[in-house]
Amino acid sequence: MDLTFNEISLNDKLETEYKTKQILNDFATVCARLKREGFSKLRTENDFWTKEIHTGTDINSFLQKIDKTKSQFFRSFIRPPYIADDFTSEADEMFVEANYSFNENEVVGLAYAYLLNTISVSLNTNEIWDTHEVEIIEKRNKIINKINVKNVTKTNHIEQHKEWIENNKTINLIKTNKAPDDKSIKLRDDHGKDKLLRFARKLVNCVYVTEIINSLPFNPNEKNFIRKIYPNGQIEIVY
């Protein structure tokens, strides 16, 4: 998954070098945490590195004044442009067909965060960005819509999106070297256990299944084959 950068959080220029270093350090901490959550890149405008962040100093120049490790991380994690080659053009078309704004400022990163159903990351240059959601205005075909965009400025905002992140992160399937006969099958002693056992013996032939840990109580109202997916790799299915 990719993130988008809220470029208008750079509208407020930082007056002191100390404050600029502090905010960039916090920004690095947030981005590193998001990378651990499964996000691979932070998408920005093409001119991101030449944007002025401190009076008279652009981001590219200022990175030379902070920790080298953080500077290298930024250069690997931050990737222009907003739309990558692997994204569909539908978001581009929707962006061109409408106007997106925040407090009368045209927005790009916040708009793409909405259009791509992802999270926007803001610099903590103003207290208005200290929130896990930012409301922007969409004007499309003379219709005005208010849209809440997922936002992260501090690490505590990530916790606000934890459930969404878990439900949307890419799942990396890992193959097991266990032979089907070595995979344990544990089922409840319920009516219909014989049918579940036959099905379980088919499931353990899958190279991604390591064991059958239990069977669920009968629930005739369940209609989806996959009932629930857990972060630890456990999957509840309905048969």
Q: What single-letter amino acid sits at 41? A: K
d(CA 174, CA 51): 42
Concatenated DSSP letters of 181-220 = GGS-B---S-TTHHHHHHHHHHHTTSTT---B---PPP-T
Distance from chain centroid for Cα 104: 27
Nearest to 42 by CA among 120, 100, 97: 120
Crossing angle of helices 17-36 and 68-77, in 10° steps, is: 60
Task: Specify the DSSP element, H or E, that contains 157.
Answer: helix 155-160
Q: Are 118 and 150 in contact (CB under 8 A)?
A: yes
Same domain, 125 and 23: yes
Q: Is residue 207 part of a domain?
A: yes
Same domain, 98 and 212: no
The model's pTM is: 0.73
Same domain, 60 and 98: yes
Residue that is written with structure tokens 């890149």 in the block:
41
Distance from chain centroid for Cα 137: 22
Same domain, 14 and 113: yes
Predicted confidence at residue 35, as pLDDT, reads 94
Same domain, 7 and 123: yes
Nearest to 97 by CA among 145, 168, 37: 145
Three-state secondary structure readout of 23-48: HHHHHHHHHHHHHHCCCCEEECCCCH
Q: Is residue 173 part of a domain?
A: no
Same domain, 160 and 184: no
Nearest to 105 by CA among 20, 15, 4, 12: 12
Q: Is residue 88 part of a domain?
A: yes
Same domain, 185 and 163: no
Same domain, 197 and 153: no
d(CA 110, CA 134): 8
Same domain, 106 and 148: yes
Same domain, 184 and 164: no
**Which of the listed residues 168, 200, 224 is the one where a domain comes to its end?**
168
Q: What single-letter amino acid sits at 130? A: D
Token pair for 94:
């929707």
**Which of the listed residues 128, 144, 168 is the one where a domain comes to its end?**
168
Per-residue confidence of the chain (239 residues) as pLDDT tens digits?
899 999 999 999 888 999 999 999 999 999 999 999 999 999 999 999 999 998 888 999 988 888 888 889 999 999 888 875 555 568 888 888 999 999 999 999 999 999 999 999 999 999 999 999 999 999 998 899 999 999 999 999 999 999 999 888 777 778 899 999 999 999 988 888 888 899 999 999 999 899 999 988 877 777 778 877 776 788 888 87
Predicted confidence at residue 118, as pLDDT, reads 95
Expressed as residue numbers, the domain containing 211 is 180-237
Same domain, 188 and 105: no
**Which of the listed residues 168, 198, 229 is the one where a domain comes to its end?**
168
Overall domain count for the chain: 2
Predicted confidence at residue 77, as pLDDT, reads 95
Same domain, 196 and 128: no
Q: Is residue 136 part of a domain?
A: yes
d(CA 78, CA 218): 49
d(CA 76, CA 70): 10
Number of other CB atoms surrounding residue 137 within 10 Å? 16
Q: Is residue 175 part of a domain?
A: no
The two beta strands, 143-152 and 133-140, are: antiparallel
Nearest to 26 by CA among 164, 118, 157, 135: 157
